[in-house]
Amino acid sequence: MFKKYVKFLFTIFVLFSLTSVSVLADEVRTDNDLRSKFLNNSTVIMEVNIRSFNSKDLDGDGFIREDIGEVRGNFLNAIDRLDEIKNLGVNTLHVLPITPVGKLKALGTAGSLYAASDFQSINPDLIDKNSQLSPEDQVKKFIEEAHKRKIRVIVDVPACASYDLYLQRPDLFVQQASGEPVMPADWTDVRLLATGTEDKVDVNVYSLYKDFVKYVMSLGVDGIRADVAHCKTPLFWKELIEFSRSKDPEFLWLAETSDSWNEAISPQAVFTPYNKLLEAGFDGYYGSFFNLKDWKNAKELNKQVSFTLTDNKKYKEPKSVIGSFTTHDEVSPILLKGPALSDMMIWLSATLPVNTYFPDGFQTGDDYIYKMGNRLAPSSNTDDNTYFVHRGKIDIFNFSRQPGGDNNTLRNDLLLSNNVKQSLLPVLNEGTFTPLKTNNQKIFAYMFANNIKKVITIGNLDFDNPVKAVVKVPKFNPKHQNVLPIKISTMPDVKKGKVIVNLKPGEVVVIIIHELL
């Protein structure tokens, strides 16, 4: 009788435990705030590659060789940089793909981060082999430490997959008439995943992505950045986003797409415009601010800002953008036009209603030039025996050095701008945007204003020559308004209806005007 009673209690305990686990698994997360922050334009996002984030390059050749005692970055040693990141004003990390990568037909000695060979495990290259913690627990530890510092974490979901995965699961891929998988654009290391039609998603690929979303959410991730989001249909994303929101209403979805992009990555790929992706549920996308490097006059900047602000208001749900002035796909601004361009990007991000965004290394002026780049490597983890890199772009193909330059002025400006941005958000989000007239088409000037405060940003798009900027400011009277320079090298000359300032090549200045009560 006693044994039966014990067996009964044990059965009840097991059933209760299973029920408890089920309830916990179905709980809606309530401690995430990333989506709200993003839609309020208050995220400061740093893009990071874990395998180089805190790596140790002892011989200075730009790449990591563990056989000589050098250390690749991993989730556990990445924790050591979190205080530095927090102190810079960063409150969100965009972690480049954490999925295992393919080794066949690869690029670089470690393989591209975007050549996913599996969507249900952690890239072993990002794991500390000396730790007793499981790969998942190492990732959770990193995210928990980030959360302790009020830093949120976004992870990347690759758009395509590796040739290795194609060999295992050909049913996941688009195939040519010959039966071979489609190689999108010139991305020789990946093959195009299927997506389905406008009316019906591809069940196999959708299941792959849904399992990925469940997997990263179980790790504590706060959002997803969808790589080349436009190569999948709105229905595909709508169902996936709705699934994630049922578990976490604050889960952020950022689409890698832009209002200026209008071509598919392959003739066999679908193309979904950015607005259709936003309608499908994405919270934000890449504003076309990466074109700043090519803009010759103020009209181009003003046009982009006006378009972005107007466009974001036409959707049923709030939307926002990242100030995508520079990303891992863009050549370092240091190489393009020197530190002045980086500084301009910093202050435009701080004085526009966008979310600040930059790759690791930008904050100190990294040129992303690797000493041994594109040369023969002594060894390789893939079938590529060269240190393949994109010149001037953060490396995503090898075990490489920690990103960073030696320009502390940029770092200090970024820190200051991040603090200024938080104080200016009310007027940026709610105030009126006004392009200001200047005496030179290469001088841009704009203002955000409410009843109390005006924020004026002035910049010189001529990176070779200084210029005297005369900016007309409507209803400005120094007798009744107080001028507070925030970012400026020489004090402005203020007159009724005008602000006059001497600008260095590529210089940007920020002035706040307060109404005197």
DSSP assignment of 283-322 equals: -EEE-GGGGGGG--SHHHHHHHHHHHHHHTTSSSS--EEE
CA gap 403, 407 in Å, rounded? 13
Domain boundary among 406, 428, 450: 428
Three-state SS letters, 469-487: EEEECCCCCCCCEEEEEEE
Domain count, the chain: 2
Q: Are residues 96 and 215 in the same domain?
A: yes
Contact between 262 and 270 (Cβ < 8 Å):
no
Indicate if 299 and 392 belong to the same structural domain.
Answer: yes
Contact between 476 and 446 (Cβ < 8 Å): no
According to the 3-state scheme, what is the secondary structure of 50-114?
HHHHCCECCCCCCECCHHHCCECCCHHHHHHHHHHHHHCCCCEEEECCCCCECCCCCCCCCCCCC
Q: Where are the alpha helices (DSSP H) in 312-407?
A: 333-337, 339-350
- Let me know: does 301 contact 354? Beta carbons within 8 Å: no
CATH number for the domain harbouring residue 76? 3.20.20.80
Cβ–Cβ < 8 Å for 451, 421 = no
| Cβ-based neighbour number of residue 446 at 10 Å | 22
Q: Give domain status of residue 19, yes or no.
A: no
CATH label of the domain that carries residue 501: 2.60.40.1180
Q: Are residues 424 and 436 in the same domain?
A: no
Q: Would residue 2 count as lying in a domain?
A: no
Please tell me whether residue 131 adopts helix, strand or coil conformation.
coil
Provide the token pair at 359.
């790759």
295 located within any domain: yes
Check whether residue 297 and residue 441 sit in a common domain: no
CA distance 480 to 423: 22
d(CA 363, CA 427): 26
Cβ neighbours of residue 270 closer than 8 Å, sequence gap 6 or more: 195, 230, 231, 232, 233, 264
Same domain for 152 and 280: yes
**Do 298 and 446 reside in the same domain of the chain?**
no
Segments forming the whole domain that contains residue 77: 31-428
Question: What is the CB-side half-sphere exposure of residue 1 using CA atoms within 13 A?
Answer: 0
| Burial (CB count within 10 angstroms: exposed 0-12, middle 13-18, buried 19+), residue 37 | buried
Q: Which residues contact 321 (CB under 8 A, 6 or more apart)?
A: 284, 285, 286, 287, 308, 312, 354, 355
Beta carbons of 215 and 99 less than 8 angstroms apart:
no
Q: What share of the chain is helix, strand, coil (3-state, %, to 5)?
A: 35, 20, 45
Q: Are 196 and 224 in contact (CB under 8 A)?
A: no
Q: Are 514 and 453 in contact (CB under 8 A)?
A: yes
Mean pLDDT, the chain cut into blocks of 10 residues (517 residues total):
41 38 56 97 98 97 96 98 98 98 98 98 98 98 98 98 97 92 94 95 97 98 98 98 98 97 95 98 97 95 96 95 97 97 98 98 98 97 98 98 97 96 95 96 95 93 96 83 81 88 96 77
